[in-house]
Chain A
Amino acid sequence: DIQMTQSPSSLSASVGDRVTITCRASQSISSYLNWYQQKPGKAPKLLIYTASSLQSGVPSRFSGSGSGTDFTLTISSLQPEDFATYYCQQSYSTLGLTFGGGTKVEIK
């Protein structure tokens, strides 16, 4: 299976901060990378698909970039509702999909 490594595993930030989360794949996955946001007790929510495409209804302060093995999720100006855990997911391997370990974004 393709391993997905996220960093950091947690971070503290303030409202209005620019936040960057990194995801690295164990092999090249082209642009087959998705990002999700999950709040406690809730199902994940799709934010970004194929590395940089914004899912319908998701605020434009969220953006994604990267290709190959290195990817980034950026929140341009952190809002109170953005405190959550974020997961990357590779969709390159049609037979085995894998998620990163998650990044918890907490209030500073």
Chain B
Amino acid sequence: QVQLVQSGAEVKKPGASVKVSCKASGYTVTGYYMHWVRQAPGQGLEWMGWINPNNGGTNYAQKFQDRVTMTRDTSISTAYMELSRLKSDDTAVYYCARESAGPRAFDIWGQGTMVTVSS
């Protein structure tokens, strides 16, 4: 079945970087944009950006422009999101989500990866 499976929870110190993976299965990964969305504990959803797995093109939310890098490895149907210079308020669950259905609507989501930033 169509699914996205993310890497496991991470604990990082302030100033470090984290790289979260998202492996797609059940569909052709190059056919759909992949987005990343995060959710701080008890808070709402925050969009971070997208990657076009077909050509590697990216678009990042202005808030994360200088700290986020989204990449992909089509040979293993996996997308990555790396966030650098971590701060305590980056503590959140990070989701990958496939864009399908309507434009920029997310029909398939990963299970989420908890990233905790603490000294």
Which residues of A pack against B, CB within 8 Å? 1, 32, 34, 36, 38, 43-46, 49-50, 53, 55, 87, 89, 91, 94-102
Contact = CB atoms under 8 A, between A and B. Distances in A.
A87 B46 CA distance: 11
Contacts, number: 67
A96 B61 contact: yes
A87 B44 CA distance: 8
A98 B62 CA distance: 12
Chain B contact-residue range equals 20 to 34
A46 B51 CA distance: 20
**Looking at chain B's contact residues, is the secondary structure mostly helix, strand, loop, or mixed?**
strand
A44 B105 contact: no
A43 to B, nearest CB: 4
B111 A55 contact: no
Contacts of A46: 101, 105-107
B105 to A, nearest CB: 4
B35 to A, nearest CB: 8
Nearest to A44: B109
